[in-house]
Structure 1
């Protein structure tokens, strides 16, 4: 995890902690690529809750993330039946609006997470990527992978075992685990500035008001009624384990 949409990681974690508080532990973490069915399949293969580990990116952020230009806020996600479902009202997910090619983004993705503990307090955990394998392919992690569903494979070490990634915080993943986002709304420069200002100097109440204002700008046309029951039943290294 690192700079995204021109926003520093410290401010992102701060507002995600407010999101967690407002959602009784539930928060969404935006990611740039699809995990497909890997997260769901991995969760079904274990008896305990699946963990997601958040690690600060060790490499320099890309220019397009530092200076993204236009910024989207995402309002909905697509369920397994293809229905458009509004995100919970307390959730705010932003991303740059354009791809590196210059075309507008048509989709984005997010991890569905829950934590009873405060985010960003730090841990003593470290991740050694050389000890991990991609869950579905059993192949070593690629150099450009930022988010991956992995399994422990210390018996099949490959790569640099001295390079470790510090883990800032840990959460559990909630069904449906990872989602494809849709229904984006372009934020005005004033809105983007408001996100930065409230994240830097506001509080959870200020943040709640801002999220309500930003999310109310777009009302999806075709909606499936949202309840938390949907989730119960139906960049570094961010690893869902």
Structure 2
């Protein structure tokens, strides 16, 4: 699209012109893996999950997510590459954990799909990481980075609440499109999906990943579906993290 295109034209180019809401998430290296490696293994997960995959994010769901889940509204997901370089703590975390369960919209703790593997760094700002979240996604197309389609963040507002503009520190947000034309587009539609059952959930049951499993995950892009499902079973078999004194798991 040219620099003179309108937000509506940009949305049509991205196949999003019909969407009342858009889930926007910025992505970069995470849990010791570069972005290209993450997307490659998520594609294997998508194939193993018959089109579904889970994408880990660091912040809690929008307050509107539960309502959208109940009505089964179709919400597209736009992933954009972050502008800044990956942080050292994301490229080389001291510990990495895998999350095996989630809280559904009724408050019930459930196992993640057997094909899902969601990891994060193991430590937060004040000790062991206490919470992590995931976007429950589906895609009929293979996951691969694309370039050239702009996503005008300034043409959107946060859905719910006061409808505030998207903040510079927001990494994942549920947005509503508005008609205002922004001064600068800034981001692209680099990856597309659609929210599916559960939409945006809180994860539970973290387990520390050992060196062998970390190495296996780094090479997971070469696995076939059977190999991926076997690897996912190995993650589910890890012992749950035992809270230290004063370290209560918030589930």
Task: Calculate the TM-score normalised by the size of structure 1.
Answer: 0.81
2:146 to 100, 112, 122: 122
Question: Does the 8 Å contact 1:128/1:161 carry over to 2?
Answer: no
What is aligned with 2:175? Answer: 150
Q: Which residue of structure 1 lines up, in the alignment, with residue 37 of structure 2?
A: 11
Measure, in 2, the Cα distance between the counterparts of 1:161 and 1:44: 36
**Unpaired stretches in structure 1, ≥5 consecutive residues:** 220-241
Q: Name the structure 1 match of 2:228.
A: 207
CA RMSD of aligned residues (A): 2.2
How many residue pairs end up in the alignment? 214
* Alpha-carbon distance between aligned partners in 2 of 1:206 and 1:176, rounded to the nearest angstrom: 26
Determine the C-alpha separation between the residues in 2 that align with 1:202 and 1:22: 10
Give the Å deviation of 1:40: 3.4
Indicate the SS of the match to 1:76: strand
- Structure 2 residue 64 is matched with structure 1 residue 38: yes
Corresponding residue to 1:99 among 115, 124, 129: 124
Change (3 A) 1:210 1:28: same
1:64–1:100: 8 Å Cα contact kept in structure 2?
Answer: no
* 1:216 aligned residue (237, 242, 250): 237
Kindly tell me: are residues 16 and 134 of structure 1, through their superposed partners in 2, closer, same or farther at Cα, counting changes over 3 Å?
A: same
Divergent runs of 4+, >6 A: none
Task: For 1:64 and 1:123, locate their aligned partners in 2 and report how far apart those are by CA, in whole Å.
Answer: 27
Distance in 2 separating the partners of 1:38 and 1:59? 29
Alpha carbons of structure 1 residues 16 and 181: separation in structure 2 relative to 1, 3 Å: same
Q: CA contact under 8 A between 1:51 and 1:171: conserved in structure 2?
A: yes
In 2, distance between residues paired with 1:4 and 1:145? 16
Which consecutive unaligned segments of at least 5 residues does structure 2 have?
1-26, 241-251
Check the 8 A contact 2:78/2:193 in 1, yes or no: yes
Secondary structure of 1:61's match?
A: coil
> Cα–Cα, structure 1 residues 129 and 36, in superposed 2: closer, same or farther, change >3 Å?
closer
Q: How does 1:73-222 map to 2 (within 5 A)?
A: 73-101=98-126, 103-122=127-146, 124-137=148-161, 138-155=163-180, 157=181, 161-199=183-221, 201-218=222-239
Tell me what 2:17 maps to. none
**Aligned mates of 1:10, 1:91 — CA distance in 2:** 18
Give the conservation status (yes or no) of the 8 Å contact 2:114–2:229.
Answer: no
* Paired residues of 1:110 and 1:178 also in contact (CA < 8 A): yes
Q: CA deviation at 1:121?
A: 4.7
3-state secondary structure, aligned to 1:154: coil
